[in-house]
Amino acid sequence: DGGITQSPKYLFRKEGQNVTLSCEQNLNHDAMYWYRQDPGQGLRLIYYSQIVNDFQKGDIAEGYSVSREKKESFPLTVTSAQKNPTAFYLCASSIDTSGAVYNEQFFGPGTRLTVL
């Protein structure tokens, strides 16, 4: 089955520790995205990548870092510089970010990060 996997579903970390969230897709999509969602809020774009070895900052990139060494993988690191990291993190992918207007994003199940 094609889709996006995120692991783990729940993650607990102590304040001051870096933590890496996994995102893998087997849809052969070029573009991948990371969003943050706070309780009762919409999604905010952290980073996105249009192609391997390239990524762009979104609206709230401070305190986060990403890498895109493989087409199918786009891990997100939440660093100790992120002041309020407790949130729900969603990874998504799409065929690309340009070209056809119809370009649905497919989402993973999300990772709920709690920093103690």
Partner 1 sequence: AQKITQTQPGMFVQEKEAVTLDCTYDTSDPSYGLFWYKQPSSGEMIFLIYQGSYDQQNATEGRYSLNFQKARKSANLVISASQLGDSAMYFCAMRGNFVFGPGTRLSVLP
Provide the minimum distance between the beta carbon of 16 and partner 1 in the complex, in angstroms, as a whole number: 26
- Our finding on whether 45 is near partner 1 (CB under 8 A) is yes
From candidates 41, 62, 81, 96, binder to partner 1 by CB under 8 A: 41
Task: Decide if 103 contacts 95 (C-beta within 8 A).
Answer: yes
- Our finding on whether 60 is near partner 1 (CB under 8 A) is no
- Our finding on whether 103 is near partner 1 (CB under 8 A) is yes
DSSP string covering 40-83: T--EEEEEEEEETTEEEE-TT-TTEEE--SBTTB--EEE-TT-S
Which region, left, alpha or beta, applies to residue 63 given φ > 0 means left and ψ of -120 to 50 means alpha? left
Query: Please, which residues have CB within 8 angstroms of residue 12's CB and are 6 or more apart in sequence?
Result: 113, 114, 115, 116
- Our finding on whether 30 is near partner 1 (CB under 8 A) is no
- Our finding on whether 50 is near partner 1 (CB under 8 A) is no
- Our finding on whether 104 is near partner 1 (CB under 8 A) is yes
Site residues for partner 1 per CB under 8 A:
33, 35, 40-45, 48, 58, 88, 90, 92, 101-107, 109-110, 112
